[in-house]
Chains A and B, each alone.
Chain A
Amino acid sequence: MTTSTSSGRRGIRLGYRANLVGISALGVILLWVVVALFAPHMIPHSVGEIVDTDYFGPVSRDLWLGSDYLGRDIFSRILMGARYTLGISLAAVSIACFSGVALGMTAAVAGGWLDTMLSRFLDALNSIPSKLFGLVVVAAVGSSIPALIATLSVIYTPGAYRFARALAVNVNTMDFMVVARIRGEKLPYLIASEILPNILGPVLADLGLRFVFVVLLLSGLSFLGLGVQPPYADWGALVRENIGGLPFAAPAVLFPSLAIASLTISVNLLIDNLPRRIRDRSPE
């Protein structure tokens, strides 16, 4: 109890209260960001180099996390994979959520035919199976990182749109929206200044969830050979290509999975535990 009170007091001085879970989650995410940025300087072995004579090798002094199905160093591959997983997924999820939320709020505020057209169009997009859509796009324009990011964003925009629109429709019926409208405010002000602050919490939570989906879809595409091209691999691809090591309890399957878990769980924990502004400001 004493620790929580003392951290509470410290929080009051800053005006915000962050809890331990949120801070540790942020720590894990920052760690991965640093890894992603400096991976080329950190890896002990080249990504494509076969360094072990055995495949699915155990943890050893030279190969910290064992070797993969071809005898390549898993530790180096995970460090490099962080770039793709983090970079592509974050970029895709940011684009998807930004456009989805912006369109959703616009549709809710504008209403009428714009709302109907946007909703039906994005519903139609939503009805296309995501893997199939990815296959078609990659088959058409070839696999490249920008193409991957664009495809993933397009796939996840309708969901974000639906979610934001549902929230914004509720806010839109409040009296303060009527007041702002009758003041003569235009659409950009209405969505950015009146609606967004009220739906930000759930939208961020949705972003965290969607991020996990993107990581999973990206690994799925990589498995089909449509994602990141060998010898490079994102974490999902690492799990897929080493899945044969599962009966041998190979570290090559275990550690990429742990990497995915640590990142996705941290993102969600951070969003659920964002620092909260303390409303009760009176002195004790």
Chain B
Amino acid sequence: MTGNLVEIRNLRVEATTDSGRRLEIIKGVSLDIAEGEIVALIGESGSGKTTIALTLMGYTRQGCKITGGEVRVGGVDMVGLSETERAGIRGTTVAYVPQSAAAAFNPAITIMDQVVEVAQIHKLMPAAQARAKAISLFRALSLPEPEAIGDRYPHQVSGGQLQRLAAAMALIGQPKIVIFDEPTTALDVTTQVEVLRAFKTVTRQHNIAGIYVSHDLAVVAQIADRIVVLKDGEIRETGTTSEILEHARHPYTQELLAAFRPKAQERVPEIETTANLPLLMVDQLTVGYGSRLRNGEPLVSAVQSVSLRLDRGRNLGVIGESGCGKSTLARAIAGILPAHAGGITFNGRELGKAGRSRTRNELRQIQIVFQHADTALNPAKSVEDILGRPLTFYHGTRGKARDARISELLDLVRLPKSVRQRRPGELSGGQKQRVNFARALAAEPTLILCDEITSALDTVVAAAVIELLKELQRELGLSYIFISHDLSVVEAICDEIIVMYRGQKVEEITPVRSKVPEHPYTRLLFSSVPKLDPTWLDGLQQDPEQVRTYCHH
């Protein structure tokens, strides 16, 4: 009997595919977690990190089965227990914080009732005491109005708050270990800092062990004592956080780390001639939603008088938190959402505000690539059909020529020919995003609007996609407008950056100058990006006044 809280020995998990084939997704993993220790599982999607974390509760997702090994939590083997016995342990010994708290809360029940539910199910304490405990947890997680926030419904609090409330729900049963399943992935950087800080304080105070699942090494560096690097269902490397960050041995870990190092812009600045017409000029663009008011203004205006200029072959970044209007700006440029006022000039010609008032050739030249390749690709069509349609539609390419061009496009985005017949559901996240991008390339555009195209991807895959974009730019002479909340992505590829806040352009910077931003919001945004340094979070000094002004939790 060693002193470890969790002992996973030689764990094997198998999944069964729809043709009856069995696939080993976890191939003999062994792992220890001591009391009060936070261990991070890091790896790309499909590496089995969530699957391993879930086995701590004796749970596997549908179609999966634990086929070997043992998972001891506090000396009890979760694999051998009956479902009823496991239910007794879940919530009291092991608790779970999901990736999307918004999906985990029932929208029809108040937050307090859901948070104290665990205590009621396990009959841990009387209702009044559970409420008091919940309020003390809200306070510990630095939630605003801890006494009153429990009376609200899930849609009445922000995403960052909801994520902390999900943690309160997990902690109320006084678990020995909490599973954090990518809890900050869906949050803005400025919010992420708050949530991470709250998690760190609470786990430290109550001496709770944790297993932190993430693909973001910088986030993990702030919170974990040890890091376990996974790939293809096997442990590649284990070590303390500083060991992994400073002396990574395994090539995959080094690749992960390399994806974080800022890459210098290797572009040679072109000699600008003033006679050159800008590719895109956006002048005082105002875009909004809802019915028009009496004064002609839209009910909710998402973008207010934003102007920008983009030269041929150059890239523009647009950054800001979610809801700042950056995606709306892209949609207005593409003609999806007609702008309410202002002008868009492309190649010296004024474009119609709505897509249907533009010519087919104008539509072809501006392509937009969406964030979620899952919804941007028709799940019922094969990759071949998806890429073939713009070829036929814009260029009238058919038959053999079309087949050849599809192959060329797949080559361009580094996809194997074997994906041609597959449907989007049969591709990985990175592959889907490449198909999504290849479809835009099929139109042979001059400008591509990239709306958060890397935020759904793992760091390593995202870095590869960015590299690909740079290469294609060199080969095809494209221009990009890059919309993102991730500064490192934008800095890696853009010549100029626009910072947006609440629908307005607050600052225009160039990456060279980006180290000394002037606007307080830009400064807050830049300082919130996690660094690979484990002491970064503890040493981070942000002006509380600014945080209060700009983070609407």
Which residues of A pack against B, CB within 8 Å?
Answer: 4-5, 8, 11-12, 17, 174-176, 178-185, 193-194, 197-198, 200, 276, 278-282, 284
Contacts and interface: CB of A to CB of B under 8 A. Distances in A.
Contacts of A193: 381, 389
Interface stretch (B15-23, B34-42, B144-152, B318-326): B15-23
12 contacts: A8-B20, A17-B18, A174-B375, A176-B378, A182-B368, A183-B390, A183-B443, A184-B360, A193-B381, A200-B380, A279-B18, A280-B18
A281 B426 CA distance: 10
A161 B360 CA distance: 32
A278 B423 CA distance: 11
Given A197-B381, A198-B379, A179 B19 contact: no
B19 A182 contact: no
B377 A279 contact: no
B375 A184 contact: no
Given A5-B20, A179-B368, A279-B425, A184 B379 contact: no
Interface residues of B, number: 30
B199 interface: no
Contact of B393 (A183, A194, A198): A183
Contacts of A8: 19-20
Contacts of B18: 17, 276, 278-280
B439 A278 contact: no
Interface of B: 17-21, 334-336, 355, 360, 363, 368, 370, 372, 375-381, 389-390, 393-394, 423, 425-426, 439, 443
Given A175-B372, A179-B370, A198 B380 contact: yes
Nearest to B373: A175
A175 B335 contact: no
A108 to B, nearest CB: 15
B336 A197 contact: no
Contacts of B443: 183
B439 A179 contact: yes
A176 B336 CA distance: 12
B378 A184 contact: no
Contacts of B368: 179, 182
The 8 closest A-B pairs by CB, nearest first: A197-B380, A280-B17, A175-B376, A175-B375, A8-B20, A280-B19, A176-B378, A175-B370
Contacts of A182: 334-336, 355, 363, 368
A107 B19 CA distance: 38
Given A174-B375, A175-B372, A184 B363 contact: yes
Contact of A12 (B19, B381, B390, B394): B19
Contacts of B19: 8, 11-12, 17, 278, 280-281
A181 B334 CA distance: 11
A176 B375 contact: yes
A176 B20 contact: no
A284 B21 contact: yes
B149 to A, nearest CB: 32
Contacts of A279: 17-18, 423, 425-426
Contacts of A185: 393
Contact of A178 (B336, B390, B393, B394): B336
Given A174-B375, A175-B370, A184 B355 contact: yes
A11 B20 CA distance: 11
B357 to A, nearest CB: 11
Given A197-B378, A276-B18, A279-B425, 11 more contacts: A175-B370, A175-B376, A179-B376, A180-B389, A181-B336, A183-B390, A183-B394, A185-B393, A198-B379, A279-B18, A284-B21
A280 B21 contact: yes
Contacts of B372: 175
A17 B21 CA distance: 14
